[in-house]
Amino acid sequence: MQLELITLLGVKVSEPVYEVIIPTADGEIGVFPGHEPLISIATPGILAVRRQKIDDDDHLEYFAISGGVIEIAPKRARILVDEADAAPDIIEAESRAALEAAMQLRDQATNQVELEKASRLIDRHSIRLKVAELRRHHRR
């Protein structure tokens, strides 16, 4: 199954994989080759990729993604998101600092606009942090 992870900044992944686990509004869905054609909405969360059938859970690859659209065909999974970051590209300490800064921003927010902005930042950075942690655990 060809996985295409497409962001505004370009194509992040375009290669054959065995399984993709995608966060959607109705929970996570695991997509294998031969899946029924489906178009749905991805929510911000963690995208996991299993490259080969024999790979165990320790060998999953993780991406922190923002919301987007997914288009699945028997031989293809196309995922359109605003942002996607591969686990190795995320620096854990940076994400943690950014998350703390965002939380501070939320606590100091004086109006609805600032509050919304802060909570968006918190969502974004907590996902990135989770991805970084997952990677660290699996490397052990």
Partner 1 sequence: MPASIRTLRSRIRSVSSTKQITRAMQMVAASKMRRAEEADTASAPYVKAASEILSYLASQGETKDHPLFAKRPIKSRLIILVAADKGLAGAYNNNLLKRYVEELKKDDGKIKNDTITVGRRAAQFATRLKDTSVIAVYQDLPDRPAGNELRAILDTATNKFTSGEVDDVDLIYTAFNSTISQEVTMVHLLPAGFTETPVSEEVREAEYEPNAQEVLSSVVYRILGSQLFQALLDARASEYAMRMMAMKNATDNANELVDDLTLEMNKARQGAITQELAEISGGVEAMK
Angle at 96 between CA 91 and CA 99, to 5 degrees: 125
The CA distance from 122 to 2, in Å, is 32
The string of DSSP letters for 68-93 reads EEEEEETTEEEEEES-EEEGGG--HH
The CA distance from 132 to 127, in Å, is 9
Q: Find where tokens 């902005």 sit.
A: 117
Task: Tell me how far, at minimum, the Cβ of 69 lies from partner 1, in Å.
Answer: 5
Out of 22, 47, 62, 68, the only residue in the binding site for partner 1 (CB under 8 A) is 68
Within 4-63, the residues that bind partner 1 by CB under 8 A are: 4, 6-11, 24-26, 36-41
Site string for partner 1, 95-134 (x = CB under 8 A): ----------------------x--xx--x----------
Task: Tell me how far, at minimum, the Cβ of 92 lies from partner 1, in Å.
Answer: 19
Quote the tokens at residue 60. Answer: 């999953």
Binding site for partner 1 (CB under 8 A): 4, 6-11, 24-26, 36-41, 66-69, 71-74, 76, 78, 80, 82-83, 117, 120-121, 124
